[in-house]
């Protein structure tokens, strides 16, 4: 059975309808949920994500897209992301994958899927392929059509720590400080503050300097998030 078929068969008849309704309401999702918690879903997917399921990259990408585009439940989106992130396919996390990841971000357009894609597969591509991925991520930071693509650019280095490209981080954040289309959007302002707060764990002085330099343009939310764990 294909991965897509195995996922859909495994999801059939499981879950809690009451929980599913609560999840759908909480996520403001058009797609219904099956009604599984995260640990239960991970346990369900684990045996399906076998190491040798995809020897061909094109088939792997096609399975991701099929799960995503034909999803009847939001858990299928989570299963698609799990397939992208599986260790067996780490070598395929390269700049050629960025258009597919951008497509998932644009169509997913909500924090539960966007943040996972930004911090993990996009972040890994950027970390491993700086020269090729940096211009793409920087272009995303000023995308005219999607605040979620912008958010992805801001969150792509959440896990980079000492390897963070602070020049890139500054550029993508500054690009979203006061943009007339998206600069005041909650999910943009929150991402901006989150990116700074996370980097403050590695380089607090860099973050303090960024906040001082751009204080007049930072929203209160972004500033509070940035300085949340720093002594005043």
* pTM for the whole structure: 0.95
Buried (b) or exposed (e) across 58-76, using 16+ Cβ within 10 A? eebbebbebbbeebebbbb
> Mind listing the pLDDT tens digit for each residue in 196-221?
999 999 999 999 999 999 999 999 99
Residue 216 exposed, middle or buried by CB count within 10 Å (0-12, 13-18, 19+):
exposed
Least confident of 61-65, 83-87, 144-148, 182-186: 182-186
Least confident of 34-38, 42-46, 62-66, 183-187: 183-187
Instruction: Look at the block and give the residue holding tokens 């940096």.
Output: 134
Token pair belonging to 92: 């395929």
Q: Is pLDDT of 86 > 70?
A: yes
Token pair belonging to 50: 């076998």
Q: Give 214's contacts (C-beta < 8 A, 6+ positions apart).
A: 174, 177
1 — pLDDT class (breaks 50, 70, 90): confident
Least confident of 130-134, 138-142, 174-178: 174-178
Buried (b) or exposed (e) across 186-210, using 16+ Cβ within 10 A? ebbbbbbbbbbbbbbeeeeebbbeb
pLDDT at 115: 98
Q: Could you give the percent of the chain with pLDDT greater than 90?
A: 91
pLDDT at 180: 56
Mean pLDDT score, 62-71: 97
> Mind listing the pLDDT tens digit for each residue in 146-204?
999 999 999 999 999 999 999 999 999 999 997 656 656 899 999 999 999 999 999 99
């Amino acid at each position: 059975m294909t991965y897509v078929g195995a996922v859909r068969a495994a999801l059939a008849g499981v879950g809690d309808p009451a929980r599913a309704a609560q999840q759908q309401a909480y996520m403001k999702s058009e797609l219904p949920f099956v009604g599984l918690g995260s640990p239960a879903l991970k346990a369900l997917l684990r045996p399906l994500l076998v190491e040798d399921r995809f020897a061909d990259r094109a088939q792997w990408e096609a399975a991701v897209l099929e799960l995503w585009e034909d999803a009847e439940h939001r858990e299928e989106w989570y299963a698609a992301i799990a397939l992208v992130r599986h260790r067996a396919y780490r070598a395929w996390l390269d700049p050629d994958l960025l258009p597919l990841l951008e497509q998932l971000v644009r169509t997913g357009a909500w924090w539960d899927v966007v943040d996972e894609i930004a911090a993990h597969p996009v972040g890994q591509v950027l970390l491993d392929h700086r020269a090729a991925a940096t211009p793409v991520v920087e272009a995303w930071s000023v995308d005219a059509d999607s605040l979620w693509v912008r958010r992805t650019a801001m969150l792509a280095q959440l896990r980079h720590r000492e390897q963070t490209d602070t020049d890139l981080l500054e550029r993508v954040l500054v690009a979203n400080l006061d943009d007339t289309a998206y600069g005041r959007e909650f999910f943009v302002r929150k991402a901006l503050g989150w990116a700074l707060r996370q980097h403050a764990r590695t380089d607090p002085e860099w973050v303090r300097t960024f906040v001082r330099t751009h204080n007049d343009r930072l929203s209160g939310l972004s500033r509070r998030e940035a300085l949340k764990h720093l002594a005043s």
